[in-house]
Amino acid sequence: MKKILVLLIMCFIPFLVFSDVAPSDMHPVDNCVRFTNLDEYPEITILGYIVGPTYDSPQFFEIQNGKCLDKGYKFNDLGLYWAQKKYVDSIGIENIVINTNIGPELWGDAYFKQVTNDPNIFFITSAIDPGDIWVPDYQTLKARISDYEIAGFVGNEIILYLSRQTSKYGSDPDEVVIYDLPEIPNLKWSPFGDTDGSSSESSQKK
């Protein structure tokens, strides 16, 4: 039995040692991911939830406008949610009930959709990754800034899109790419009942 245990430990050692070793021909690039128009939606709050090997006491936290998202350790994952601001303010972020019985086989969106059973908290996505990126050493990219905006709502589903991406190359000029708001049927400015906002009006506003 002891021999089997030793063999199992030896099998895991290479993964523990090399999982955080940087590739010899690559370098990390600071990857700032942020939201830049949350102030245009004062009635809602964007929430984050982190899960991972170095995040033992997860709870929701508020995403701030213009501030780079942070998920901590590179193997952590970040889920995004939205809720009415008045609801979050009334109960307190720390009092949002967390589901601690999520099956270990779930990951990604399937996991984050079960983080809470609170019907007032709406899951958005776990696909936006604020972690650093690795690029080959022959590339001179030093940092990247990705600006996301809220485009509007389809029902109670919030629509996010990448509006601008800035690549910084040290002494070379920055490269800036601006993306148009995509055409989305039935897009409304607010999820709270009928409004005068529409997809065409939202597009004109940008």
Q: Where are the domains of the chain?
A: 25-205
Q: pLDDT (tens digit, 9 = 90+) per residue, 99-139?
A: 988 876 677 899 999 999 999 999 999 999 998 888 888 88
Q: Which of 132, 104, 44 is nearest to 80 (CA)?
A: 44
Q: pLDDT (tens digit, 9 = 90+) per residue, 174-191?
A: 999 999 988 888 899 888
Q: CB of 83 within 8 A of CB of 45?
A: yes
| Strand spans (E) along 1-156 | 26-35, 44-51, 61-62, 77-84, 122-125, 133-136, 143-154
